[in-house]
C-alpha cells in the first residue's frame, strides 16, 4: 500500500466485511493510538451524510458519492470522504479529506505539510490561510499601535508635560460640561507665592522641582472626581465637583497652604514657597460661562494676594 500512502496519505483500505486492513499515515495520526487491525470502519467512524449507515452493505452502496464521517472518539473531527470499490470483491478504499475545516483540523491534530500528498491543493490553501492570518495579525498590531499613538497624542494635548496635571484645554471642557449639567461645583485658583525667588536664586531646575512637588500636593488633597490643572507658570486651578460648602472649602484651602509652606529640599538647598487661593462657588442656578468663572476666581485670588498672600478668599458679587 506504499503507493496509496504517498498519493492518499489519509486513506483506509477495507475488507469486504468493512474491516480496516491498512491505514494511511495521516489517518493513523488522526486516530492517535493506532487501533489494532483489523477493526471495523464503523466502529471508529460515524457516517453522517448522506445518511447514517449501520452496515457495510449500506456503506458500499454509497460508493462514489460524497460522504461525511465523524470520528467517534474525541475530538470528534468531521471528515469528508469518498469510497471506491476494489475489483473482484477485494473490498474498498476510503479516501478522507478535511474540507473547509482544514485549518482547525491541522491545529487540533498537529498536522504538517508532510501529512498531505505533494499535489494536495490543501497545502496551497493552508499557505494562503497562514498568509491571510499573518496579514490580519500585522494589520491588527498596526491598528493597535496607531490607536495607542492617537490616544497618547490626545492625552498629551490635554496634559501638562512637566507636572502630569491636566492643562487649560481640559479645564475649559470640564467647566463647560459642569455648567451645562447644572450641578454645583467650585473653582479654586492658586498661585505659588515666592516662586520667582526660587527660580532666581536656585535656577529653573529647582523651580521645576518645586512645581512638581506642588502638583503632587494638589493631587493628594483632591478626589478622583475633581480636576487639578496647571494653567501655566506657577498658576493652578482646581475644580471640585458637587462641593460648595464654604467651611469645608476654607479648611481644604488652609491645609493646602500649610503643605505648600513646608520646606522643599533640592540638591543642597531648601526652597520655600506658599500659596494664595481664590475661590468661587457655582450652584445649579449659575449661568456663568467658563471664562467668567475663571475671571471671578482670579479676582478672588487677587484679593488674597492684596491681603498679604498665603491665604484664601471667596469671590463675592460686587466685590472689587
pLDDT at position 149 is: 60
Please name which of 175, 260, 248 lies closest in space to residue 215, comparing C-alpha atoms: 260
Has residue 151 got a pLDDT over 60? no
Most trustworthy range by pLDDT among 160-164, 169-173, 250-254: 250-254
Q: Decide: 51 and 62 in contact? Cβ < 8 Å.
A: no
pTM score of the predicted model: 0.55
Which tens digits make up the pLDDT trace of 237-254? 999 999 999 999 999 999
- The lowest-confidence range among 28-42, 95-109, 156-170, 259-273 is 95-109
pLDDT above 50: residue 319: no
Question: Which phi and psi (to 5°) does residue 114 adopt?
Answer: -70, -10
- What cell numbers appear for 89 in the block? 470483491
Return the higher-pLDDT residue of 89 and 151. 89
Q: Is 33 a catalytic residue?
A: no
Domain spans, the chain? 2-114, 120-157, 168-314
| Strand segments (E) across the chain | 11-14, 19-23, 39-40, 45-49, 67-71, 78-85, 92-97, 185-193, 227-232, 235-241, 264-266, 269-271, 274-282, 312-314
Cα torsion for 282, 283, 288, 292, to the nearest 10°? Answer: 0
Q: Mean of the per-residue pLDDT values for the chain? A: 85
Domain covering 168-314: architecture: 2-Layer Sandwich (3.30)
Of 28 and 132, the one with more pLDDT: 28
Catalytic residue among 115, 120, 191, 234: 234
CA 83/CA 103 separation, integer angstroms: 24
Cell of 74: 474525541
Residue 303 has pLDDT above 90, yes or no: yes
Under CATH, which number does the domain 2-114 receive?
3.30.450.260
Is 70 strand, coil or helix? Answer: strand
Amino acid at each position: 500500500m506504499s503507493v496509496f500512502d504517498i498519493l492518499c496519505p489519509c486513506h483506509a483500505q477495507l475488507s469486504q466485511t468493512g474491516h480496516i486492513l491498512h491505514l494511511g499515515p495521516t489517518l493513523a495520526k488522526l486516530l492517535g493510538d493506532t487501533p489494532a487491525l483489523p477493526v471495523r470502519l464503523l466502529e471508529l467512524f460515524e457516517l453522517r451524510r448522506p445518511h447514517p449507515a449501520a452496515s457495510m452493505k449500506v456503506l458500499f452502496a454509497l460508493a462514489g458519492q460524497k460522504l461525511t464521517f465523524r470520528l467517534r472518539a474525541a475530538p470528534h473531527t468531521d471528515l469528508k470522504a469518498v469510497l471506491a470499490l476494489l475489483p473482484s470483491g477485494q473490498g474498498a478504499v476510503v479516501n478522507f479529506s478535511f474540507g473547509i475545516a482544514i485549518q482547525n483540523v491541522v491545529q487540533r491534530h498537529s498536522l504538517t505539510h508532510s501529512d498531505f500528498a505533494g499535489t494536495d491543493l490543501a497545502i496551497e490553501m493552508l499557505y494562503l490561510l497562514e498568509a491571510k492570518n499573518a496579514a490580519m495579525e500585522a494589520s491588527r498590531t498596526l491598528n493597535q499601535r496607531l490607536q495607542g499613538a492617537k490616544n497618547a497624542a490626545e492625552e498629551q494635548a490635554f496634559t501638562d508635560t512637566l507636572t502630569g496635571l491636566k492643562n487649560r484645554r481640559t479645564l475649559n471642557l470640564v467647566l463647560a460640561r459642569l455648567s451645562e449639567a447644572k450641578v454645583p461645583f467650585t473653582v479654586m485658583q492658586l498661585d505659588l507665592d515666592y516662586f520667582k525667588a526660587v527660580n532666581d536664586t536656585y535656577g529653573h531646575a529647582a523651580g521645576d522641582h518645586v512645581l512638581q512637588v506642588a502638583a503632587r500636593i494638589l493631587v493628594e488633597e483632591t478626589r478622583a472626581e475633581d480636576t487639578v490643572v496647571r494653567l501655566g507658570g506657577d498658576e493652578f486651578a482646581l475644580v471640585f465637583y458637587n462641593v460648595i460648602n464654604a467651611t469645608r472649602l476654607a479648611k481644604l484651602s488652609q491645609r493646602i497652604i500649610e503643605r505648600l509652606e513646608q520646606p522643599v529640599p533640592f540638591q543642597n538647598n531648601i526652597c520655600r514657597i506658599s500659596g494664595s487661593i481664590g475661590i468661587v462657588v457655582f450652584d445649579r442656578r449659575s449661568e456663568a460661562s467658563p471664562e467668567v468663572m475663571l475671571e471671578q476666581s482670579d479676582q478672588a485670588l487677587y484679593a488674597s494676594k492684596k491681603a498679604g498672600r498665603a491665604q484664601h478668599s471667596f469671590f463675592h458679587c460686587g466685590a472689587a
